[in-house]
Chains A and B, each alone.
Chain A
Amino acid sequence: MSYSAIAFTSALTFAAIDFFILKRSLLKTKYFWTSYAIILPFQLLTNWWLTSRNIVMYSDDAITGLRIASAPVEDLFFGFTLILGVLHMWEYLGRKGMQNK
Chain B
Amino acid sequence: MLGFTVIGSFWLEVALKVGVLRRAKRAFLSIFPVSIFFIIWDAYAIAQGHWFFDRTQIVGIYGPFDIPIEEFLFFIIVPIAAIMTIEAVTTVKPHWRKYEDNK
What is the size, in residues, of chain B's interface with A at 8 Å between Cβ atoms? 47
Number of A-B contacts defined by CB within 8 Å: 120
What does DSSP make chain B's interface, helix, strand, loop or mixed?
Answer: helix
Q: Does A22 interact with chain B (Cβ within 8 Å)?
A: no
Alpha-carbon distance A6/B45, docked complex (angstroms): 10
A44 to chain B, nearest CB (A): 13
What does DSSP make chain A's interface, helix, strand, loop or mixed?
Answer: helix
Within 8 A of A (CB), among B79-93: 79, 81-83, 85-86, 88-90, 93
A11 to chain B, nearest CB (A): 12
Identity of the chain A residue whose Cβ is nearest the Cβ of B75 in the assembled complex:
A82
- The 8 listed contacts between A and B (C-beta, < 8 Å) are A35-B86, A38-B89, A39-B81, A57-B52, A82-B34, A89-B29, A89-B34, A99-B26
A99 to chain B, nearest CB (A): 4
- Which of A2, A32, A46, A101 makes the CB contact (< 8 A) with B86? A32
What is the size, in residues, of chain A's interface with B at 8 Å between Cβ atoms? 41
Alpha-carbon distance A56/B68, docked complex (angstroms): 11
When distances are taken between beta carbons in the complex, the residues of chain B under 8 Å from A8 are none
When distances are taken between beta carbons in the complex, the residues of chain B under 8 Å from A30 are 93, 96
